[in-house]
Amino acid sequence: MSDHAKGAGGTFKSYVIGFGLSVVLTLIPFWIVLGDVVDNTAWAVAIIFVLGATQMMVHIHYFLHVTLKVEAGWQVMSLGLTLLLLVIVLAGSIWVMFNLEENMMPAHEQIERVRNLP
């Protein structure tokens, strides 16, 4: 079987495993939110973010074929940059979500109070 038929970076089996893990890691957050499984919102957000980070690592390993082998040192640096970007995106997303209430448009009463200023 040629490299093209097997998949240049991985086997059919590895793609199926990656796809299955991706589906499971997508369905669990939907179940948590739609099923109202976790009572504490902070815990639900933490679980969803951990599953999202795990899914990103599954994609990197099974579909992009980035590994920690010594002969592929540039891939280790690429993985490190990916992890750094992952932390930045997750931390930024959490920061934005928890500060939305403060930065939303003012309530109707506040608008009326500003209009009535001298």
Residues of the chain with pLDDT under 70: 1-9, 69-72, 101-110
Distance from C-alpha of 56 to C-alpha of 39, rounded to nearest angstrom: 26
What per-residue confidence (pLDDT) applies to 58? 92
Q: How many domains does the chain have?
A: 1
Nearest alpha-carbon partner for 19 in 55, 48, 52? 55
Task: Give the residue numbers spanning the domain of 40.
Answer: 3-115
Task: Tell me 105's DSSP state.
Answer: P
The tokens describing 11, both together, are 């086997």
* Region at 10 (left for phi over 0; alpha for psi -120 to 50; beta for the rest): beta
